[in-house]
Structure 1
Amino acid sequence: MILIISMSKMEDTTDMVMNWLDGLNGDYYRLNGDDFIEKTDIINGQIQFEDFDPEAINIIWNRRWSSSKLINKGNEVYYDALGAQNASALLSSLRRETGVLRSFLNLNLDNKVWTTRPEKMSANKIENLEIAKSCNLSVPEYVITSCKLTLSQFAKRHERIICKPISETPHFTSSIDNNIVESIILYTKGFTVDEIEDIPSSFFKSLFQQEILKEFEIRVFYLCDTCYSMAIFSQNDKQTQLDFRNYNDEKPNRTVPFNLPKEVEYNVKKFCRKAGYTMGSLDLIKSTDGNYYFLEINPIGQFGMVSYPCNYYLEKKLAEHLIGQNEKNKQKRNTKRIV
């Protein structure tokens, strides 16, 4: 059986892959993180799953976990009762509680085959930059500092620099008119040497990189030693020049299928193998000087934006991969029983 670990809502990609699994007669079960937290019991160390046997699992597609809405849905009550500071501490405690539950689930399924191991779901950007360099991929020069003097010295070596989160990009929400909730994302920010003068002498430790003048960006979906690449012509729009996620809905960036040079593709595959990824979405840049730069990888593997424009049918390919792994691992298990 294929186990799909996902969120219960806002998961169109999960739904699409499940549609293909249905069409291809795949044997699967979807376990939503929210449902596990709210409905599943753990009795004396045994997880009481409602309607499936974990012994039947042959492959796990580790898509996502639970939505923060599960914890945050009562925050107004918390704030009214406890005040902002105590409410924040309570919410942090609840997140740690759900984290322990997820860790226990991972432990119980540790001997299973995963598309992405739990410990790889959150990418370490700095570690991956260093692994990429060891695999002969170019990476932008970077510095992590909380000191303005260090930052100024770094900036003077480059015409422009950028600032980006060290870990995953945080998402915030704010309520606006008519009870509409707006999502807020931290985008990549560019700086010149002169603009650094306005920065305080010390600040929270941040990641800065040289800004790479790009010909275009590349999103690569990696699945089991195969690369599916797409070029994103974001450099011609001021809104998307630094960060194509700052989408221009009125005039979207042009996106087309793209073949990585053989050497670059070889190094990308080498990186994924060395870093321990069997799937993921990688961001690269082709610079104006013709070089290819590795930026980062998303281990969850957002691939809808690559699948549709390029007609790669990645949802089908992933479904076929999961079915193949299910049959392969089932045969291994049966062989072990016979022996």
Structure 2
Amino acid sequence: MILIISKNKEATTDEVIKWLFVMDKKFIRVNEDEVFEIKTKEKRIYIESSKNSFFIDEIESVWYRRGGLKFKRLQYENPSVDMHMSEHQHWLEDYVIKMLESKKYINKQSNCHVNKLLVLKKAENLGLDVPSYYLAENTNHIHLGQSIVKPIAGNPTLENISEDIYGVMYTAVIDKYRTDEFFISFFQEKIDKDFEIRAFYLNGKCWSMAIFSQKDQQTKVDYRKYNDKKPNRNVPYKLPDNIEEKIHQLMTSLDPNCGSIDFIKKDNKFYFLEVNPVGQFLNVSRICNYFLDREIAEYL
């Protein structure tokens, strides 16, 4: 039995599940709105929600996509007893998650988020080229037009800013100074790229796509500012073997065995930008005919 941990209406999960049906593989999909109770049956751990139930020893492989297992906790009237039992329940929940993560897996709930700053340091230590970067709470030492600012915490979206509106935090070039101070932010050298590369990594293998975003003013700094009227040209691409080997070393050191990785190419250098263990890859799959959704289904 395969356990898929995801979110409602998550398109990548839907595509993988189509292949699981074709391959006649049994699976359970858990979404973020489910709350499980941990029980025992026949001296075995059994978890149950209003939609799904399973013995954890029935699960043979786990794909953590997004979301996470949530558990209902018993509440006790006495505060001291409640605190004491809450700790017991925490360790029981931790046991269930760790037991599931000991199965054959694609990514884990316990380390689905990586620290971008630590990842960059590890990438440098492995010999990958990384654009110079630093943290600052003002623009006093910024080189205008030669520096970019981007989130420390990956690529967050701001949901429910107002009704039916959400915000995406894009990479931006610093073109003017600010007189005030702000929360410590991530600044990086601006590289005038030849093109960008989005690589998908799964268990030691890479599939990559070149994104020619640099000639469009809308996508020049951040290709995620998609130009729907005149889309960027995207083509299959093969990274050099030594770069793919360093990606493998990096992912092994981080522990996630799957993720989307961004590079920019300038002359003969490949500059590593970041890795997102739960990043989107369907566009890479479809444009380049890689059938990555099938690769995941086959592995599971």
TM beyond 0.5:
yes
Question: Following the alignment from structure 1 to structure 2, what is the Cα–Cα distance between the partners of residues 284 and 62?
Answer: 24
Extract unaligned runs of 5+ from structure 2. Answer: 69-88
TM-superposition CA deviations, 1:132-181 (whole Å, max 9, x none): 111111001001111443xx1xx34x8600000001333234688xx7x1
Residue 78 of structure 2 corresponds to which residue in structure 1? none
Match for 1:20: what amino acid? W
Q: Which residue of 2 aligns with 1:109?
A: 97
Instruction: Report how far residue 275 of structure 1 moved.
Output: 1.9
**Which amino acid in the other structure matches residue 167 of structure 2?**
I
SS at the partner of 1:33? Answer: coil
The answer (yes or no) to whether the contact 2:46–2:53 under 8 Å persists in 1 is no
Paired residue type of 1:185: V
Match for residue 126 of structure 1?
117
Q: CA RMSD in A?
A: 2.4
Structure-2 residue corresponding to 1:2? 2
Select the residue among 149, 158, 167 that pairs with 1:184.
Answer: 167
Residue 43 and residue 266 in structure 1: after superposition, are their counterparts in 2 closer, same or farther (change >3 A)?
A: closer
Deviation at 1:201, TM superposition (A): 4.2
1:167 is matched with 153
1:52 Cα offset (Å): 2.0
AA paired with 2:29?
Answer: R
| Bigger fraction of residues in helix | 1
Alignment CA distance shift 1:200-1:102 (3 Å)? farther
- Displacement, 1:274? 1.8
Residue 270 of structure 1 corresponds to: 249
Which shifted more, 165-174 or 247-256? 165-174
Maintained 8 Å contact 1:125/1:296: yes
Match of 2:83 in 1: none
Report the Cα distance in structure 1 between the residues aligned to 2:60 and 2:14, rounded to whole angstroms: 20
Task: Give the match for residue 136 of structure 1.
Answer: 127
CA–CA distance in 2 between the matches of 1:189 and 1:105? 41
- 1:18 aligns to 2:23 (yes or no): no
Structure 1 residues 300, 103: closer, same or farther in 2, change over 3 A? farther
SS in 2 for 1:203: coil
Supply the distance in 2 between the matched residues of 1:21 and 1:63 (Cα, whole angstroms). Answer: 15
- Match for residue 233 of structure 1 among 199, 212, 217: 212
Name structure 1 gaps, 5 residues minimum: 67-100, 323-339
Q: Distance in 1 between matches of 2:166 and 2:208?
A: 28
Q: Which amino acid aligns with 1:110?
A: K
Q: CA deviation at 1:120?
A: 2.2
Aligned residues: 271
Distance 2:210 2:92 in 1: 40
Percentage of identical aligned residues = 38
Closer/same/farther in 2, CA of residues 35 and 174 from structure 1, 3 Å limit: closer
Counterparts in 2 of 1:24 and 1:168: CA distance versus 1, 3 Å: same
Aligned to 2:48: 48
Distance 1:42 1:280, change over 3 A: same
TM-score (norm 2): 0.83
Give the letter for the 2:109 counterpart: P
| Structure 1 residue 303 displacement after superposition | 1.1
Structure 1 counterpart of 2:31:
32
Q: Kindly provide the amino acid, as one letter, of the partner of residue 219 in structure 1.
A: R
Q: What is the aligned partner in structure 1 of residue 81 from structure 2?
A: none
3-state SS of paired residue (1:270): helix
Paired with 2:181 and 2:265, the residues of 1 have a C-alpha distance of 34
For 1:216, give the aligned amino acid: F
Q: Deviations over 1:312-332 (max 9, x none)?
A: 00000110011xxxxxxxxxx
